[in-house]
Structure formats: structure tokens, C-alpha cells
A and B are shown apart, each in its own frame.
Chain A
Amino acid sequence: MREGLPALKEIDFSTFFATRWYPIEDLFGIIPLISGSLIVTIFSMLIALPFGIGTAIYIGEIAPQKVNEILKPLVEILAGIPSVVLGFIGILVLSPAMRVGLNLPTGLTALTGAVLLALISIPTIVSLTEDAFYAVPGSYRQAAYALGATHWQVIWHVVIPAARSGILNAVMLGIGRSLGETMAVMMVTGNAPTIFSGLESFIAPVRTMTATIASEMGEVATGSVHYHILFFIGIILFLFSLVINITSSSFSARPKRGNDQVVS
């Protein structure tokens, strides 16, 4: 399916794993880009997981039917909002707010990107986690109630542990969504290839692999070293997503189910 486009032989590996990405001077260290992707993804997961799983618990276990009829379409709407629209809101609303609120020189930071990515991955996490809850047999719950457990104890000690593998699957695919997201990240993270160095990196500009490809591919000469490097970054991304997908399908409680809810 994929043609092998790399032609990596053109540069040696030492420059490749160097720590600077500066194509104009032939410095192609991809470490800052990978680190940028990882920072933003990890941080977005720190935001998205509590909110995504919490919302799934509410929708799946607590909320009355009537409330769900409003909540579920809203989550679907979030899934349907194109990432470029979220990026747009990020530029015009979120990043000025961040700049003023946190008193930073620029609002285009890893943190801003992470917040947007959290919004993008939340629908995936919510719907898959909720599926996992749904798949927990009713008899488990009834047994727990019969032992005198409260509703909360049933959720906390029975449903969540039983749905563990499904939740893990949701987390993996959420990570995949974040890692692969391009437009929103490119628009708000500030696009400066830096390496993670302590906590202040969260509020500094970064650049991810996806954003690098998207922003530089248009300007690069076909067949040049730079061009091949960008394709190579694409291959790295592809491998990342492959690993995530294969791990997640090994977690998945019901491997036969389609992946319709995976896709935005």
C-alpha cells in the first residue's frame, strides 16, 4: 500500500539524530520534532483523559436517558468540527486568552496545542469508553447491588475494572488522534523546533512532526534531501500510528467490531 519513498541514504545518521532542525543550513535533526509531538500529545492526554473518561462515566452510567439524548449528539458535533475550525478558534480566542491569562510573551505554545488536541481526542475517548462500559454484562452490576453496594461503588469497583481493556483501547486511539492531528497543531503551537527542557517547555512554542510536514512540504524542491526527509518523517508517523493501532486492537475486548467510532 505504501510506496517506499525514503531514499534515506543521502544523509548520515549522526546529522539525522542531531538536535537541531534547521533545513536551510542542512541541519535535519528530527529529535526536536519527535519531542515536540510527544510533549503536545502527552499533555493533551493529561487533559483529555480525566474529562473524556469522566464524561463517558456520566453518559454511560449516571445520566438519565433524557439528558443523554442531548449529550450524545453534542459529543458527535465535537467529533464533526473540522480541526481547522478548532485551530482557527485556537488562534483567535484561546491563544490570546492564554497569553493574557498566563502572562506569556506569546500565546502560541505547546499548552495551547494540547488543549485543542484534548478537544479533538475527547470524542474518540468518550465513545469508545462508553462502548466499553456498555459491554460489561448486567449480571456483574446486579451481583454488586445484591451485595449492598451503592451505585457509586458499583461504578468504581465493578464497572471500571471490568471495562479496563476497553478503556485502555480508547486511550490508545485517543493518543493516535492527538499524535496525527495536523492543522490545529500547526496553527497554534508556534512552530519553533525546540527540545523538551523542563516544565517551562509546556508554555513555550514547539513544533510537531505533522506540522513540519504540512508547513514545509509546499516549499521544498521535489527530490531534494529536505524533501526525502519530510517523507521519512511521514514514515515515522505512519509507524507510530501502526504501533498504536496494533497495540490497541490487542487490548480491544471485541476485536470483531468495526472501527466506525474511531474515526472523528
Chain B
Amino acid sequence: MNLKPFNRARKSKINRRLVQQAGFNAIRLVTLVTILPILGIVVYIAIKGAPAISWEFISAMPRDGMRAGGILPAIIGTLYLMVGTGVVSIPLGIAAGIYLSEYARDNWWTRLIRIAIISLAGVPSVVYGLFGLGLFVLFFNFGISIISAALTLSIMTLPVIISTTEEAMRSVPYKFRIVGISLGGTQWQTIRKVILPQALPGIVTGIILGLERAVGETAPILFTGATFFLPHLPSSPMDATMALPYHIYVISTQIPGMPITIQYGTVLVLLVFVLAMNLIASVIRSRARAKRQW
């Protein structure tokens, strides 16, 4: 460690007080400038969007080229996509996470899988969109549909769920496993009855955060499942669907003369959706932290 600065500073006590004061204030200012826009954005959208929110807005079909009426199909579409993504990615993600934390040996193969998962998490979302277009829409011939979009979003969500599951399982102390086995349980019984319940809050938080990201993403569904306008609700998984994020993109860039309140209203609905999931995740996390016995 370089001690020069300490010696130099010791020479003038007042000076280093001043430096500390100035430094702290600079840091406080920087933090304030970072935090204020966040609050600003949320509050601004809430204020501008609130007048648009009504029962009709969330429960009616759009009318007049989407310039009036509600956004029901977009809300329903987003729910469908979320459920579809969950159905595919939750079981697979949890299974893979359990395998990686409990069964996999530490060899080059496991390391390769881990590197692949970490790399997947950093892939740009539009590349997932291309991948989904190539694989699900064209190769498997699902077409532009809910199923293609949900599968694409699942692949994007999987790395999150796998790594949070693995992390949550690993954080359960090793003692728990020893006790489980010593009581005559098999490894699977120990995992299912002892480790999994302990790790569950962590896993659920990961799932919610993964789905939250899937709900908010536009780029992956752009060419795999989203459509501009549907006169009716999607009736099968092979139908294309409207979705909130894509709807926001369309109404804010592609339709001229769109009433501004409807735009803010739609954004507010998506924001409430996403922030509610965020809130649920952090409530689960802090509850679990309070209850933890180890």
C-alpha cells in the first residue's frame, strides 16, 4: 500500500478535512443527479398517464385506429407472453439450476456450461429476436405467433433463472445436506425436502425478476410474435398478439396524431405492471431474509 498520501496529508490537518468535505459533497451531488431522474421519470409518467386510466381504458378494444378506446388486447397479450415464458423457462431453469449446484461435478464440461450461461445473459436482446426468428418462426415454422415469442423470451429469461436458482441453492449451508443424508434421506429427498424449501424465496425472486425483464422487452418479440393491431383477442398460441411494450413503440413512433394521454396511459400501465413485480420480488426477499435461521 502506498503510504505517501497519508504522510503528505498529515502535514496539514485542516487541508485534509477540507478535501474530505469537498469529496463527500461532490459524491453526494453526483448521487443526487443520478437518483433524481429516476424519481422524475416515474412521477412524471404517473402524473401524465393517470388521467387516461379508466375502466374502459384497460378493458375495451382500441377504436378509431387506436386513437380511442382501450388497450385490452395489449394487456392480455402481455399476460399471455408472460405465462408462456413462465411455463417454458421456470421448470427448465430450476432443473438446470439444481443440476448445476447439486449434481454437476466441477469439470471442464460444467465450466463450459457456466461460461455459456454467463455469456447468454449478456447477449443483446435484438440478437435473441433474430435467433427466435431463425429458429422458431422459420425453422420450426411456428410463424409469427405467441408460441414463437414466448419461446424466444424463455431463452432470454433462462440464464437469469438458472443462475439465481444455482446461487440460491448454493447459499444453503452444507450442513443441511449432511444432516438430510445422515437421517437416511436419499440425495433427491434431501434436495426436495430440505434444500429446495430453504432456497425457494431466492428462486422465486429470480423468476419474478426474469419475467419482469421478459415483460418489458420489445426487441425479441419484434419479429417473432408482436403485431401492430388485432381486431380480436388472440384465440390460440399460433396467433400473433399485441403486447404492451411493442404497443408503446408503435403508438409513440408510427402513428401520427396519437392523443398524448393515451400514450402516457399505456406507458403507465406497463410501468405499474413491471414495478409491481419488482415490489413483490423485494418483499419476498426481505421477508425471507428476516425469517432465515442460518
Contact = CB atoms under 8 A, between A and B. Distances in A.
A263 B159 contact: yes
Contacts of A263: 121, 159-160, 209-210, 213
Interface string B132-146: 011100110000000
A143 B223 CA distance: 57
B134 A5 contact: yes
Contacts of A74: 35, 38-39
A5 B131 CA distance: 9
Nearest to A173: B122
Nearest to B228: A218
Nearest to A244: B122
Nearest to A71: B35
Interface in A156-207: 156-158, 173, 176, 179-183, 187
Interface stretch (A19-27, A98-106, A234-242): A234-242
Contact of B34 (A83, A122, A176): A122
Interface stretch (B51-59, B188-196, B245-253): B245-253
B71 interface: no
A78 B252 CA distance: 21
B30 A58 contact: yes
B289 interface: no
Nearest to A157: B5
A76 B208 CA distance: 13
Contacts of B133: 217
Interface stretch (A8-16, A28-36, A254-262): A254-262
Contact of A81 (B34, B41, B160, B167): B41
Contacts of A179: 124
A225 B217 CA distance: 28
A88 B248 contact: yes
Main SS of the interface on chain A? helix
A37 B125 CA distance: 15
Contacts of A73: 282
Interface residues of A, number: 82
Contacts of B219: 182-183, 210, 214
Given A51-B33, A54-B27, A82 B160 contact: no
A78 B38 contact: yes
Task: Specify which of A50, A152, A173, A242 lies most central, judged by the most chain B CB atoms within 10 Å of its CB.
Answer: A152
B274 interface: yes
B118 A245 contact: yes
B126 A85 contact: no
Given A51-B34, A74-B39, A182-B124, A93 B249 contact: no
A224 interface: no
B242 to A, nearest CB: 14
B163 A260 contact: yes
Interface string A196-234: 000000000000001001100110001000000011001
A54 B30 contact: yes
Contacts of B85: none
Interface in B83-135: 115-127, 129-131, 133-135
6 contacts: A156-B5, A156-B23, A173-B122, A182-B125, A213-B126, A234-B126
Given A210-B219, A234-B130, A258-B167, 9 more contacts: A2-B131, A3-B135, A75-B38, A81-B271, A119-B38, A222-B138, A241-B119, A262-B122, A263-B121
Interface of A: 1-3, 5, 50-52, 54-55, 57-59, 62-63, 71, 73-78, 80-89, 91-93, 119, 122, 126, 143-144, 147-153, 155-158, 173, 176, 179-183, 187, 210, 213-214, 217-218, 222, 230-231, 234, 237-238, 241-242, 244-246, 249, 257-260, 262-264
Interface of B: 1-3, 5-6, 9-10, 16-17, 19-20, 23-24, 26-28, 30-31, 33-35, 37-39, 41-42, 44-45, 115-127, 129-131, 133-135, 138-139, 159-160, 163-164, 166-167, 206, 209-210, 212-213, 215-219, 222-223, 245-246, 248-249, 252-253, 260, 263, 267, 270-271, 274-275, 277-278, 282
List the 10 closest pairs (A to B, CB-CB), nearest first: A180-B124, A82-B216, A54-B30, A152-B20, A258-B163, A182-B219, A258-B167, A234-B130, A58-B31, A182-B126
